Amino acid sequence: MAYKDSEDDHRCTVVVGLADEYAISAGISLSAEKEDAGIDSCGPAERIAATVVGNLKDRAGE
């Protein structure tokens, strides 16, 4: 799940559930210049969360 406090917010937080009691979150904040250029901070946050989940799966042997 990705969320921002508002459309003008430069920060995006992504939360990924791993199991019933475990989750990871990745919070990304972009500069105002990047946001003004149309770059959404949720894209990089989602990629980082996916990388973390992939690394955890690799470590778990899945």
Return per-residue pLDDT of the chain as tens, 62 residues.
Answer: 776 777 777 788 999 999 899 999 999 998 878 888 888 888 889 999 999 999 999 988 76
DSSP conformational letter for 40: -
pLDDT at 53: 93
Q: How far apart are CA 57 and CA 9, in angstroms?
A: 31
Which among 18, 12, 7, 17 has a CA at the least distance from the CA of 47? 12
pLDDT at 6: 74
pLDDT at 62: 60
Tell me the domain boundaries of the chain: 2-60
